[in-house]
Structure 1
């Protein structure tokens, strides 16, 4: 049976849009595009081999997610996160992680537990060969994996937006210090191991409270630091 091109073409366009959005978002989160970087719609459209109209839509979505800011007549820039905003986001994220394991829940599958086991193993390996970029990718992987414990789409969308809005902050703090990076890897490894233990016995309530506790402790360390930036030794994810 032949596939109707009128159906496949929009699907391909959506997939291309999503892939482009994910790639540019990753560049922002991993600090390939640092805060204040000016992005060129024309150059990005050329790089991704798409017209400027869909690229404009990609950038508009990233702006809606708080990762970009457009100034009329000036350009589009990667945003930074103000301390007050960061505090508000983390207070909200602290509550959302409980909903992710109590609202429209999906019981952990053997495949999900196996992926979590791999994350724990990779965290231990990362302790031997620390790399801030690899750590950031591993943290993102765990976040997205645990988000599969809920099928509530509005909750998933909001959680993703808040996570990617602020996950750059800790990377900026630890990227230049191996000591700080190792400390953060240790904290992550402990959290991942605790979550794995809870998943293996199917205790989703414990998973939510473990994650909430780690966010709360991170925010407490951040609040104790009276300055414009979070503390270098605070695990702000």
Structure 2
């Protein structure tokens, strides 16, 4: 699975082989293409990604820090188990940091980033005209959040929120077949993206908080 697209500013940044491997493996873990508990074979990943083992091993070290893989002496590396009990702790942090990111994005995003956010909002509005499966909808969810984090202009905030959103998305993907309407959750992003583009910082923070609270309620309802 290829890494998801990011905001225009990010697309122009040079990406090392290790970074490319990291993003690809990370998104495979998030979307459960690599199932929880599966063994991770660096040689097989290197072959699939068309890179050497060294970039893959560097990527796996980072992914262990992200709590997406775990290594055991003499046993190897495995995809971590999705722990549903982490939802409360992850949501506790996201309820504070997601509104902050949305507020900062609305207040300080560059014109190029605002254009990218607006374009994504218009694309989501047209989802009803296309047949997009639940997996595709989840990719939209990841892209929206990552673009907002980038637009916030604080790399430490961005990195922290990406890690939290990755963990939340794995939980979401575990129960995806039991969620009645994923499309509705994704379409909520349109209003949030539009107020960020319009520079309405306080409103953006309110909508971001409501979105995270709604996500947590949805997950708990199907557990």
The TM-score range, normalised by the shorter chain, is 0.7 to 0.9
Query: Which of the residues 191, 195, 207 maps onto 1:210?
Result: 207
- Structure 1 partner of 2:20: 19
- Structure 2 partner of 1:134: 136
Relative distance call for 1:56 and 1:193 in structure 2 (3 A) is closer
State whether structure 2 residue 160 is matched by structure 1 residue 158: yes
Distance 2:33 2:105 in 1: 36
Give aligned pairs, total: 210
Distance 1:199 1:104 in 2: 6
Distance 2:27 2:69 in 1: 13
TM-score normalised per structure 1: 0.77
Contact 2:69 2:80 in 1 (8 A): yes
Q: CA deviation at 1:22?
A: 0.6
Alignment of 1:185-204 (within 5 A): 185-189=183-187, 191-204=188-201
Instruction: Specify every segment of 5 or more residues in structure 1 that has no aligned partner in the other structure, as ranges.
Output: 1-10, 226-230, 233-237
Q: CA deviation at 1:89?
A: 0.7
Bigger shift: 56-65 or 69-78? 69-78
Alignment of 1:96-175 (within 5 A): 96-102=97-103, 107-128=108-129, 129-174=131-176
Instruction: Specify every segment of 5 or more residues in structure 2 that has no aligned partner in the other structure, as ranges.
Output: 1-12
Distance 1:206 1:56 in 2: 43
The structure whose RCO (Cα within 8 Å, separation 6+) is larger is 2
Task: Look up the SS of the partner of 2:16 in the other structure.
Answer: helix
TM-score normalised per structure 2: 0.81
Q: Say which one has the larger Rg.
A: 1
- Structure 1 partner of 2:216: 219
- Structure 2 partner of 1:89: 90
Q: CA deviation at 1:113?
A: 3.4
- Structure 1 partner of 2:43: 42
- Structure 1 partner of 2:9: none
Distance 2:193 2:103 in 1: 17
RMSD of aligned alpha carbons: 2.6
Bigger shift: 34-43 or 99-108? 99-108
- Structure 1 partner of 2:33: 32
Q: CA deviation at 1:105?
A: 7.5
State whether structure 2 residue 73 is matched by structure 1 residue 76: no
